[in-house]
Structure 1
Amino acid sequence: MLVYILVFILTFCIMEFMAWFTHKYIMHGFLWSLHKDHHRKDHDSWFERNDAFFIFYALVSIGFFLLWKYQILDIGLAIGLGILAYGIAYFFVHDIFIHQRFKLLRNANNRYAKAVRRAHKMHHKHLGKEHGECFGMLIVPFKYFKK
């Protein structure tokens, strides 16, 4: 049981790196066409092409659930749940807390919440795919914790 909990936690932590890597090298790279509408609000839809990245990671998570279900990979459930948990955390932090796609979590003003907002604001000050910074989500550079 302990190994499954450790795999779940490790997967969740690795997903922060995967989010950073995907954001920096894929979203701001060859799939900029899907991500640019997130930086430039030149559309009227609530949905963004950028939301396709959620679907990709959901499919990866489902893939691990299936590997577990069909007894191909014993730790598949722990990995799938770790990816799912990170996706939920990302959705709450990025879409709800930062971008207010749902009007919730508006009054969170602790040091960490402020640092996350500052870092993300610095990321969005760049409207193009070049010269970006702060590509992660949950791990925030120390400089954003300063007043």
Structure 2
Amino acid sequence: MNFLIVVATFFAMEGLTWVIHKYVMHGFMWSLHRDHHDHSTDGPIECNDYFFAIFAVPAIVLMYFGTVNNFSPLFYISIGITLYGMAYFFVHDIFIHQRFKLLRDTKNPYLLAIRRAHKQHHKHTGKEEGECFGFLWVPVKYFKMYFNKNKALK
């Protein structure tokens, strides 16, 4: 049962991430997220990076209360949130934005679709008119871009 809580939380985070990204990061907290779109910050750290600390707080609080209550479901929810945060860091910061030069030449259709969707999101430098606010779920049209491109090459 605890494993199912972790997995369900991990996948539920995708919907929550979409809502937070669209309405919080592109809403009232745009001042922290803006430099991620317009690259106005010099150096390796952006104001947007503060979101990692902000989003870690609920996981830490849930982990604490889940632990002091004999590993209640709150603990396993916190594990799902933490795993999602780790996946986000590896895919978004390492793979997509290449903060560390890894997986640059991948041919994996799913990873290429994620990269394309994220590029579409970043083509909008303002807080309005955005698209692709999710992270792991990629609209089918981005897979089609990849497969249609490969068909043209054959």
Q: TM-score range by the shorter chain?
A: over 0.9
Q: 2:68 aligns with which of 67, 70, 76?
A: 70
> 1:25 matched to which residue of 2?
23
The 10-residue stretch of structure 1 (78-87 or 56-65) with the greater mean CA deviation from structure 2: 56-65
Contact 1:57 1:83 in 2 (8 A): no
Query: After superposition, where does 1:49-128 map in structure 2 within 5 Å?
Result: 49-71=47-69, 74-128=72-126
Match of 2:45 in 1: 47
Structure 2 unaligned residues grouped into runs of 5+? 149-154
Q: Which residue of 2 aligns with 1:34?
A: 32
SS in 1 for 2:76: helix
Q: Is the 8 A contact 1:116 1:138 kept in 2?
A: yes
Specify which structure has the higher proportion of helix: 2
Regions of 4+ moved over 6 Å: none
Shift of 1:115: 0.5
> Percent of pairs identical after alignment?
54
User: Which structure has the larger Rg?
Assistant: 2
Q: CA RMSD in A?
A: 1.2
Distance 1:117 1:70 in 2: 40
Q: Could you tell me how far 1:116 is from its partner in structure 2?
A: 0.5
1:2-13 correspondence to structure 2 within 5 Å: 3-13=1-11
Q: d(CA) in 1 for partners of 2:97 and 2:137?
A: 18
Q: Which amino acid aligns with 1:15?
A: M
TM-score, normalised relative to structure 1: 0.95
> Secondary structure in 2 aligned to 1:137?
coil
Distance 1:117 1:69 in 2: 37
Q: How many pairs are equivalent?
A: 145
Paired AA for residue 120 in structure 2: M
Cα distance, 1:107 vs. partner?
A: 2.4
